[in-house]
Structures are given as structure tokens and as C-alpha cells.
Amino acid sequence: MGASRTTRSTLPLRVAAVCYRRRNSHAEFLLVNTNGGSKWTFPKGMPEDDLSHSQAAEREAMEEAGATGIIEPRHFHIYTYSKGVFWQNGGVQEYAVKAFLMEVQRTRNPEEPFRNPTWFAPEEARVTLAKGREVKYARELQTVVDRALDHLGIARLVAAR
């Protein structure tokens, strides 16, 4: 028998709000610091029994980024990420995350001020999301930015390498 593989459908679920705003023909993404403050991510959290997944993602945007706006009712992408946890053997838990686009209309001080919500241009967001992460998870988050731009019909501007 081969080794068992964990699939996204068997992983614990989280929901994320991929917050964006349009600037002329471009977009900017609103990222927040992780709990430890060493990395950047999209506002995300656990789904809640009394809310749809999109509503739960919208709540996370408000709590972590102080952002309100129009969230799409259906996710546009599913990605995975890992988090250090005390109860897991080896200290790491992997999650599947449903990503929902949210066009931000207003921002205010978040309930969690240490999150330091900050706007990033797409290429900046891709680089910032990758910092300090394993290659697999860096690519997952960069793909979220790319898929969001595709979904919004905004061309990717790739810096010359």
C-alpha cells in the first residue's frame, strides 16, 4: 500500500477575505500581519455555524483589517497554508482556505490593531506574502494574488527579472 495523501477536502477549513481596491486600471491588496507579526497574509479565520462562508470571511476582514465592502458570495480559489500548533505532533497543522474576493469600500481601525493592515500593489503583495514561508506555501499565496487579478480582469504586471 502507498502512503496516504492528505487532500484539501480532508483538511480543516478556514475562510479568507482577499480584500482589494481598484486604482485606475490596477488593483491593490490589503494584507495583515500574522499573529506573530513576522509574516503577512490575507484576513482569515474559522467558518462560523451562524454565518455563510462568505459572511465569515467578511467578518474576518472587519476584525483583522478594519475593512468593510462588498464580498462575493462564492469563493474564487482554495489554497492551503500551515500553522504552528501546540496540539499537533510535530507542531504544524495544515488548513484548506476558501478565498473570497471583497472590494473594500471603507477602512477603519481594526479590532486587532497589531495586524497593521497595509495596501500593496500586486507584485509587492506577491513578494511580501512569500517572505519567510516555505516555497510550497509562498507559491500558494502568490497564486491567490494571480487568480484574484484574473478574476477581476486585471492584467498582471511582472517586474523585469
pLDDT in tens, 7-25: 567 899 999 999 999 988 8
The answer on pLDDT for 1 being more than 60 is no
Please give the C-alpha separations between residue 125 and each of 28, 31, 105, in angstroms, as whole numbers: 8, 8, 19
Q: Is residue 3 part of a domain?
A: no
Give dist(CA 35, CA 51) in Å, integer: 23
Q: Reply yes or no on whether the pLDDT at 43 is more than 50.
A: yes
Does a structural domain hold residue 6?
no
Please state the domain count of the chain.
1
Q: Which residue segment(s) compose the domain that 31 sits in?
A: 11-152
Q: Is residue 5 part of a domain?
A: no
Residue 159 forms part of a structural domain: no
Give mean pLDDT, residues 72-76.
98
Average pLDDT over residues 98-120: 95
Q: Is residue 44 part of a domain?
A: yes
Average pLDDT, the chain: 88
Domain with 103 in it: what CATH number? 3.90.79.10
pLDDT at 88 exceeding the cut of 90 = no
Position 25 scores a pLDDT of 82
Among the listed residues 114, 135, 128, 5, the one whose alpha carbon sits nearest the alpha carbon of residue 64 = 114
**How much of the chain exceeds pLDDT 70, in percent?**
86
In this prediction, residues 78-90 reach a mean pLDDT of: 74
CB 75 within 8 A of CB 98: yes
Whether this prediction's pTM lies above 0.95 is answered by no
Q: Is residue 59 part of a domain?
A: yes
Q: Which of 4-8, 11-15, 35-39, 58-62 has the lowest mean pLDDT?
A: 4-8
On the question of pLDDT at 85 being above 80, the answer is no
Handedness of CA 143, 145, 148, 153 (dihedral sign): negative
Is residue 96 assigned to a domain?
yes
Residue 2 lies in a domain: no
